[in-house]
Structure 1
Amino acid sequence: MNRIDRLTAILIQLQGKKIVKAAEIAERFNMSLRTVYRDVKALQEAGVPIGAEAGTGYYIVEGYHLPPVMFSKEEAAALLTGEKLMEKFSDHSNRKQFSLAMEKIRSVLRGSEKDYLESLDENIAVLGHRPQTLEGTEFPNRFLTDIQQALGMNQVISMEYFSFQEEAATRREVEPVGIFHMSANWHLIAFCRLRQGYRDFRVDRIRKLSVLTTTYKKSNHLSLQDYLEQQRCRNEEATHLVKISVENEVMRYIRDQKYYYGLMEENVVGARTELTFLLPSLGYFTRWLVMFGKTVEILQPEALKTAMQKRVAELHEHYF
């Protein structure tokens, strides 16, 4: 990247955040802090009103904006791909907002870029099994945009949430911590005022939601990253080390399934293959093992053998 392009990119980066640290600029463009200082000084000398806070970072004085930014074909194609992913993995509210944003982006593209996007549009698809959701009049699945607003403004959320565990709907007031996507569903991590603790709420199980004018102190809570790290450590403490032996001829039917169950090691020993897993639940694992019948031998732990005997007994009682 030549210096003119780099200066333009730095200016765009400064417009994208309230404060940008020099280290962030250096990391993005793989250059030294000394070069960052020179580039920022060059922008200031060119008339760009860039301010600096000691020990914090750079900022652009309120009111200054670049002219509309033009997108390259590659950038436009990446945004189109993002739109396809949003259609598949977001809720009604975010899909609508992203679609509106894409309309604005398309409106500033040059004619050649518009033609390029149109030719790509019909040739990009995001496929895959969409799990059964709770969408409908009872579970509208359209609250991500409201949740994002509450997160950005530190506002309390009031919602009616249906818990499968309790098989009942309850009214909750929560202080949102963050959202994440996992296993085809969006999750809201929040401090629940009713339960006085952090809870994981499936967004598609929210029946009603409103963002209150009441605010909360973000500093009183864990960050989303800290919460997820805590959960990861707890899951590791509750895991089981499992080793099984499978006939080599059966391995072709297992394929990628073994990775879904936490495969750690795989070794071929003669006519059989030994697989080592780290599992959060033995009961869940037995359901998978049943598929392979007597071609599988459990090497460890004994608890898995006991769980498997229980599973087989349940099946025998059901069918005989």
Structure 2
Amino acid sequence: MNRIDRLTAILIQLQGKKIVKASEISDRFNISLRTVYRDVKALQEAGVPIGAEAGTGYYIVDGYHLPPVMFSKEEAAALLTGEKLMEQLSDHSNRKQFSFAMEKIRSVLRGSEKDYLESLDENIAVLRVRPTHLEDDNGFPNRFLTDIQQALGMHQVISMEYFSFQEEVATRREVEPIGIFHMSGYWHLIAWCRLRQGYRDFRIDRIRKLNVTSSYYKKNSRISLQEYLEQKRSKPHSGEQPQIVKISVDANMMRFMREQKYYFGLMEETVKGDQTELTFLTSSVGYIARWLVMFGSAVKILESDELKTAMQALVIELKEHYL
């Protein structure tokens, strides 16, 4: 990337966040901090109102905006792929909002980019494991993701009616959201539940009613999503709360796992010699155990005593069944 392109990209990066650290710019463009300082100074000398806070980072003074951004064909294709993913992996609310955003993006594309997208549109598909109609039955609207994102961003309390399949009962909850994540085909909300006085994992497609209240909570009074997930890695687990499991698989068996591994909440995959280590975040140890048993001794469990116990029970069950 030449310097002119880099200066433009740095300006876009600065407009994308309230504060941008010099180290973030350095890491993104693989340049030294000294080069970052020179580039920012060059932008300031060109008339861009960039402010700096000692020990914090750079910011664009309020009121300054770039002219409309143009997209390359490759960037436009990446956005189209994102739209396909959103259509299948998000809920009704987010699909609608992303569709509006894509209309705005298409409106600023040059004619050649529009033609390029149209030629790609019918040749890119994202297929679902579960039929969509199964998710929309039984009074679960599946349209709350946008509201939850608003509550997360504004630190607002959520009031909702939640149905637990484990207890087979619907309860009214007031929760303080700390994060959302997508796992095994479902969106999950992690929040501090005022009813249970603890952090809980709520499947968003099990929410029947939801309202973002006018009450606010202090962000610093709750842990972050990453801290929550790290605690789940190091503490015992129970019920439907998600937990970390880690396995090592013989390299020659990996071709048989292929896309299946993503359905069980794959978080990380690392090749180590003739072994591949896989880390999953799963809410059902029994479910993943029944999948792993087919691979026999080619799988070694590195983390989760609960998974080891579940595997042992399955092996005994199979042995007794075939005696």
> What is the TM-score of this pair, normalised by structure 1?
0.81
Question: 1:130, 1:45 → 2: CA distance?
Answer: 56
Is contact 1:282–1:304 with CA below 8 Å preserved after alignment?
no
Cross-structure match for 1:271: none
Give, as a single letter, the amino acid of the residue that structure 1 aligns with 2:164.
Answer: S
Superposition pairs of residues 90-129 of structure 1, within 5 angstroms? 90-129=90-129
Displacement of 1:278? 9.5
Cross-structure match for 2:66: 66
Cross-structure match for 2:316: 309
Give, as a single letter, the amino acid of the residue that structure 1 aligns with 2:15.
Answer: Q
Cross-structure match for 2:228: 227
Cross-structure match for 1:20: 20
Displacement of 1:229? 1.4
Give, as a single letter, the amino acid of the residue that structure 1 aligns with 2:72.
Answer: S
Superposition pairs of residues 189-268 of structure 1, within 5 angstroms? 189-234=190-235, 255-256=256-257, 260=261
- The Cα RMSD (Å) is 3.9
Displacement of 1:233? 2.7
> What is the TM-score of this pair, normalised by structure 2?
0.80
Are positions 1:8 and 2:8 aligned together? yes
SS of residue matched to 1:255? helix
Question: 2:246, 2:104 → 1: CA distance?
Answer: 52
Give, as a single letter, the amino acid of the residue that structure 1 aligns with 2:6.
Answer: R
Displacement of 1:304? 4.9
Deviation >3 Å, runs of 4+ = 131-134, 238-244, 257-265, 275-292, 295-313
Question: 1:45, 1:243 → 2: CA distance?
Answer: 55
- What do residues 210-248 of structure 1 show as CA deviations (whole Å, max 9, x unaligned)? 001100011111111111111123369x9999999xxx9
Displacement of 1:175? 0.2
Displacement of 1:88? 1.0
Shift in CA distance, 123/241, structure 1 to aligned 2, threshold 3 Å = closer
Runs of 5+ unmatched residues, structure 1: 269-274
Is contact 2:292–2:299 with CA below 8 Å preserved after alignment?
no
SS of residue matched to 1:87? helix
Question: 2:313, 2:83 → 1: CA distance?
Answer: 48
Question: 1:239, 1:4 → 2: CA distance?
Answer: 45
Cross-structure match for 1:272: none
Are positions 1:172 and 2:173 aligned together? yes
Displacement of 1:134? 3.4
Is contact 2:247–2:278 with CA below 8 Å preserved after alignment?
yes
Bigger Cα Rg = 1
Runs of 5+ unmatched residues, structure 2: 238-242, 302-307
Is contact 1:283–1:307 with CA below 8 Å preserved after alignment?
no
Displacement of 1:285? 6.5
SS of residue matched to 2:135? coil
Question: 2:118, 2:292 → 1: CA distance?
Answer: 47
Are positions 1:42 and 2:37 aligned together? no
Shift in CA distance, 299/138, structure 1 to aligned 2, threshold 3 Å = closer
Is contact 1:282–1:307 with CA below 8 Å preserved after alignment?
no
Cross-structure match for 2:155: 154
Deviates more, 1:69-78 or 1:277-286: 277-286
Displacement of 1:184? 0.4
Question: 1:278, 1:39 → 2: CA distance?
Answer: 40
Question: 2:277, 2:20 → 1: CA distance?
Answer: 45
Give, as a single letter, the amino acid of the residue that structure 2 aligns with 1:139.
Answer: F
SS of residue matched to 2:213? strand
Question: 2:8, 2:277 → 1: CA distance?
Answer: 51
- What do residues 37-92 of structure 1 show as CA deviations (whole Å, max 9, x unaligned)? 11111111111111111110111111110110111111000000000010110000
Identity fraction in percent: 70
Is contact 2:162–2:206 with CA below 8 Å preserved after alignment?
yes
Cross-structure match for 1:33: 33
